[in-house]
Copies of this chain bind each other. A is one copy, B any other.
Amino acid sequence: MAQTTRDQLLATARRLFAERGFYGVSIANIADEHGLTKQALLHHFPNKAKLYGEVLREISDDLDKLKLAAMETSADPKGQLGTLLRAMVPTIEDETIRTRLLMRELLDNVPRAETAGTWYLKTFLNDLVGMVKAVPGWAEATEAEALAVIYQLLGAVNYFGVSGPTLQGIFGKTKVRMLNEAFPAQLDALLDAAFAIRHSKA
């Protein structure tokens, strides 16, 4: 069974929204790439906002899958967090798209979420906080402290993931390739260092 038109439109929407954002892409742009009219797209999705919501739901599902996969590979929470964060470093194009959409959601979701009533990142962030608190030495950390360190590490991973095209523009292809090679080892070192920090109220 081949991919349905709906699936193809969804994939294109995902890519274009990641590149240019919600306002930067028209439904006609998306339909055009498949030789269709925007009315064809509106046959599959009730309106533009719902289409965007569908894309976000996919992203949120992706993150949940990464989280579950990380929890299976290792028993200790520190290893789980490391696996998860390393997995979030984009290597193939589709992962870059996911990272960019995630970042855009952080920037733009306030008006969207208020009308839609959905915070796609909520459970993901809560789960991460739980994992941090399970790390030895972090049991007595406050929720705010756990969230702070999670955010710093997510930032370390995702900021880089978003900047590929920019970095290439500034530094050129060769340096970016070297950067991509150097990044994971550097990240490992940072993760180790971050969780080595002891948290006890003593």
Contacts and interface: CB of A to CB of B under 8 A. Distances in A.
Interface of A: 20-24, 100, 103-111, 113-114, 119, 121-122, 125, 142-145, 147-149, 151-160, 162-163, 165-166, 169-171, 175, 178-179, 181-183, 186-187, 189-190, 193-194, 196-197
Q: Interface of chain A, helix or strand or loop or mixed?
A: helix
Number of copies: 2
A148 B106 contact: no
Contacts of A100: 107
A20 B23 contact: yes
A98 B100 CA distance: 19
Given A170-B125, A193-B190, A152 B145 contact: no
Given A121-B166, A121-B170, A197-B189, A21 B107 contact: yes
List the 8 shortest-distance A-B pairs measured between CB atoms, nearest first.
Answer: A155-B159, A193-B193, A152-B156, A155-B155, A23-B23, A144-B178, A144-B182, A148-B186
A176 to B, nearest CB: 9
Contacts of A145: 182, 186
Contacts of A149: 186, 190
A28 B143 CA distance: 43
A162 B179 CA distance: 24
